[in-house]
Amino acid sequence: MLSKHADVLAAYRNSKQFTSMNGNMLGTLLRGGDSAGGRMLVVTDGGRHSALRRLMQTGFGPRILGVVGEFVERATAEVLAAALERGDCDFAADVASAIPLAAICELLAVPVADRPRILDLTRSALESEHDAQPSIRSRLAQSEILLYYARLAAKRRGDPGTDAVSMLATGLVEDRPLTDEEVVLNCYNLIIGGDETARLSMTSGVLALMEHGGEWERFSRGEVAVPDAVEEILRWTTPAIHVGRMAGTDVEVRGTTIRAGEVVTMWNVSANRDEDVFDRPDELILDRTPNRHVTFGHGPHFCLGAHLAKVELRALLAYLQRNVAAMEPNGSGHWLSSNFLNGVESLPITLKAR
């Protein structure tokens, strides 16, 4: 278990000593490994990882993210305006769950007519993505999603666009095209990764603002810039509690020898509260600077969707700053029960307009 900021950074940087090929979650590693190892970006290392990442990054280029960013701002405004008009809402279900999935549909260029069904299926699939025993409903939804993206990828092979699915369906990695299975696995990876960090940081961030009224007041008055608040919310919420690796070689960390083949976990929640790096780490300070959090990882596996997640969180906070006078709890929230995902999955609140 690596808990210090410096040790977590060092492990993120060194994919030879700390490999992700066997999986990137403690539960998966303890069960014997991830069957997608070497085929899905997050559980691939070395030259293949670099080549696959370069290919996928073309789907996250400035022009594409610019268009998606405009879409996110419009979608965020629509969802929040509706919630503000009602006054009462479950922020997790009514706001935070809607924005990231809509953005992913835009990024993957899912046809508009298909989006309501795909959004519904994705929500069902994500309900128990990390449960030990997913429900039948969730398993069926996951299967339908995989089949949908397999069909979509097949269409994009013949008629490609500039979206991420097209990049995967038509690109080459190490001089060969990806298999249908590899395309679908990486589409699903984008869906899961694109949903969780933004959704959980949004909901837990709003909870943090309600619990720290002084910081909300400073932010509401415009004394804190939105980009600074985004970074502190990301540090404070840390949606990915840990990231798993397997030691590729014997390595010594702070006098302890980790043997090749042993499971290693980097605890982001601890690194993001390391008193050697963060002044008053257990306080929410929205204009904290510098803010070297590891919420998106570091090094070769730095989150591909980090910029998009920040765009989504920035759109949310900017709207709140402009349009919301007060946010108050309106019932009991419900935290996820997980050692991998950190956040609130239900948050009833009352919003009051300016």
Backbone phi, psi, residue 216, to 5°: -60, -40
Task: Look at residue 126 in the predicted model and tell me its pLDDT.
Answer: 66
Q: Which residue, 64, 144, 77, 157, is CA-closest to 104?
A: 64
pTM for the structure as a whole: 0.93
Q: For residue 2, what are its two tokens?
A: 């690596």
Task: Look at residue 134 in the predicted model and tell me its pLDDT.
Answer: 61
Task: Look at residue 253 in the predicted model and tell me its pLDDT.
Answer: 96
Strand partners, 247: 18
Alpha helices in the chain (DSSP H): 5-13, 26-30, 46-57, 62-86, 98-107, 115-127, 136-158, 164-170, 180-211, 213-220, 226-237, 268-271, 306-323
Q: Which residue, 183, 162, 145, is CA-closest to 108?
A: 162
CB 300 within 8 A of CB 45: yes
pLDDT (tens digit per residue) in 174-224: 999 999 999 999 998 888 888 888 999 999 999 999 999 999 999 999 999
Separation of alpha carbons 84 and 76, rounded Å: 12
Separation of alpha carbons 63 and 51, rounded Å: 21
Stretches in the chain below the pLDDT threshold 50: none
Task: Look at residue 132 in the predicted model and tell me its pLDDT.
Answer: 52
Question: Which are the contacts of 132, defined by CB distance < 8 A and separation ≥ 6?
Answer: 27
Q: Which residue, 97, 94, 87, is CA-closest to 327?
A: 87
Task: Look at residue 336 in the predicted model and tell me its pLDDT.
Answer: 87
Task: Look at residue 61 in the predicted model and tell me its pLDDT.
Answer: 77
Please give the span between the terminal C-alpha atoms of the chain, in angstroms, as a whole number: 47
The residue to which tokens 């268009």 are assigned: 67
Domain borders along the chain are 5-353
pLDDT (tens digit per residue) in 10-64: 999 999 999 999 999 999 999 999 999 999 999 999 999 999 999 998 888 777 8
**Exposed, middle or buried by CB within 10 Å (0-12, 13-18, 19+), for 150?**
middle
Task: Look at residue 306 in the predicted model and tell me its pLDDT.
Answer: 92
Q: Which CATH architecture has domain 5-353?
A: Orthogonal Bundle (1.10)
Task: Look at residue 60 in the predicted model and tell me its pLDDT.
Answer: 82
CA 76, 78, 321, 351 torsion-angle sign: negative
Three-class SS of residue 251? strand
Task: Look at residue 141 in the predicted model and tell me its pLDDT.
Answer: 86
Task: Look at residue 197 in the predicted model and tell me its pLDDT.
Answer: 87
